[in-house]
Each structure stands twice: as structure tokens, then as C-alpha cells.
Amino acid sequence: MTQPEIRAVQGDITTIEVDAIVNAANNAMRGGGGVDGAIHRAGGPAILADCIDRFPDGLATGDAGWTTAGDLPAKWVIHTVGPNHAAGQTDRSLLTSCYRRSLEVADELGAESVAFPLISAGIYGWPKDDAIRAGLETVAAADTQVDTVLFVAFDAATHQQIEYQLNR
Ligand code: AR6
């Protein structure tokens, strides 16, 4: 059993040079707002084309699947669908499943480094402190060949919150 090294970084996930970045997508997998919109904008149309091709029916909540990363520095985008807390999906196992399934997909790809955004913590309204805890504890307990996992926060305050939980 190997566990990855976990680090917190601040910035725009589309610029991070890792093997795979994770997208907080929706069930349809045809783009959206937040980090999803940023990834499709920065990666170009190849990502949407691959989503349509490989996921004609989209993805279930809690599941993950990969596409090309198009023009991004990463090799792959791993799309995962977090629970929409704001719409009443409060089953935490769906959120932890996103992290676990994303790392399983990373293992299928042979990705050694993976960057996650805070899944469900934006438009989907999962309370941020618990979204951080769910991500960190699931990755820390995962049995994966991935050796480095970055948690990417868009803003300084969130980055500090992640650092705090990581170091306690
Ligand atoms: N880099 C890193 N983090 C980011 C970036 C970025 N470029 N942009 C936003 N974040 P969200 P969700 C942070 O709303 O809550 C979309 O429409 C953001 O501050 O992107 O899972 C999808 O299509 C927050 O902490 O994802 C779905 O419909 C985190 O990423 C829905 O939103 C997640 O916020 C998914 O909502």
C-alpha cells in the first residue's frame, strides 16, 4: 500500500504542470461554469469532443473518467461529478467517491502526479471546511500508484484553510 505525498498550492488549476488535472464536472459532461468552464476554455475544443466521444451518456455522481487535456500542460483531464449540496445531495460518500475514483482512473492512466480542485465546494455549495476534510482524508487513505497529489485552491484564504488542515 502506497500513499501519495499531498501538497496544497494556490493558483489556477489549468496552468499546473502535472500528469492529470481533475475537473469538477456535472453529469452531462458538456462543460459548465467554475473550474469546468476554465478547463474547457483553456484546453480548447478537443476536451469537449473527447467528452462527447467517450462519454455519450455523461457520468454518474461520484464517478470519474478521463479525456485528453487538449492544449493544457497536463496530459489528461480526469472528470468527476461531485454531489450538488445546494440541490440537496448531501451524501458525503458521493464526495469521497470522487477522490477515490479519480485516483483509480489516474492509476489506469499511469499518471504519477494529479492536481485536484475542491470538488463540490463552489457552485455545488458543499461547506468548504468539510469539502477540504473529505478530500484530504480520502486521498491520504487511498491505495494508489500516484506519488504526488496537489490540492489547488483558487484564492489565498482557501489555500490557507487547506494548509491548516494538512498540517494539523
Ligand atoms: N482553478 C482552481 N480552482 C478553481 C478554478 C480554477 N481555475 N475555478 C474555480 N475553482 P466549482 P463544483 C474552485 O464551482 O462546486 C460547474 O458549472 C472554486 O473556487 O468549479 O463542484 C460544473 O459544470 C471552488 O473552490 O465546482 C458543475 O455544474 C472549486 O474550484 C458545477 O459547476 C469548485 O468549484 C460543479 O460545481
The domain spans of the chain are 5-166
Q: Is 99 exposed, middle or buried (0-12, 13-18, 19+ CB in 10 A)?
A: buried
Which positions are catalytic?
A: 36
CB atoms closer than 10 angstroms to residue 67: 23
Answer whether residue 13 shows pLDDT above 90: yes
Q: Among the residues of the chain, which ranges form H helices?
A: 34-43, 45-54, 92-109, 128-141, 156-166
Angle ∠(157,148,93) on CA atoms, nearest 5: 70
Q: In the structure, what pLDDT confidence band is assigned to residue 2 with cuts at 50, 70 and 90?
A: confident
pLDDT in tens, 130-157: 999 999 999 999 999 999 999 999 999 9
- The class that CATH gives domain 5-166 is alpha beta
- Specify whether the CB–CB gap between 68 and 54 falls below 8 A: no
User: Model's pTM, two decimal places?
Assistant: 0.98
Residue 57 C-alpha to ligand 1 middle, in angstroms?
Answer: 21
Q: Which of 1-5, 63-67, 100-104, 148-152 has the lowest mean pLDDT?
A: 1-5
77 lines ligand 1 (CB under 6 A): no
114 close to 22: Cβ distance less than 8 angstroms: yes
Q: Which residue has its alpha carbon closest to ligand 1 atom 28?
A: 26
At position 96, the amino acid (one-letter code) is T
